[in-house]
Amino acid sequence: MVSTAEDLIQAWTTMWNSYDLDEVERLFVGDDRLTYLSSEKQGVIAGYEAIVQHHRGFGFVPGGKDTGNRLWLEDLVYSDLGGVTVVAGVWLFKRHGSAAVQRGPVTFVCLVNQGGIGYRLAHLNFGNYPADAR
């Protein structure tokens, strides 16, 4: 269980950097309410199983692996809306062996678990900034 929205976002970042598919179950809502807008694919990715497949497509594996890639978040703003926390910020990604850093806006919707203890991700929305935008 992830006890705060801040801890959930940190755990998601750790999951992404470790490419650990096992963490998807712990961090995401495990049903069809889950939605995801990727910066890499068009359309809405809906439902838990589709999110698992999306992460597999990025190379996530059970137990994780070291890719040398690095993702981090900046300028995060947390808005507690009572039962839901919306987190907005900027994602940055540096592929191993590349000097280029991709970046764009991101929004996370963190839902309080049933029973009111802990959080899970219910929606993620990623965009891309043009390469020359700062």
Q: Is the pLDDT of residue 9 over 90?
A: yes
Do 115 and 99 form a contact (C-beta atoms < 8 A)?
Answer: no
Query: What local confidence, expressed as pLDDT, does residue 134 receive?
Result: 59
Order across the sheet with 101-112: list the strands. Answer: 44-46, 35-37, 119-126, 101-112, 84-94, 70-80
Q: What is the pTM of this model?
A: 0.93
Tell me the pLDDT tens digit for each residue of 71-93: 999 999 999 998 899 999 999 99
Report CA 24 to chain centroid distance, whole Å. Answer: 9
Residue 1 CB contacts under 8 Å (≥ 6 apart), including other chains? 113, 117, 118
The alpha carbon dihedral of 33, 87, 51, 42 has a sign of positive
Q: Please identify, in words, the CATH class of the domain defined by 5-126.
A: alpha beta
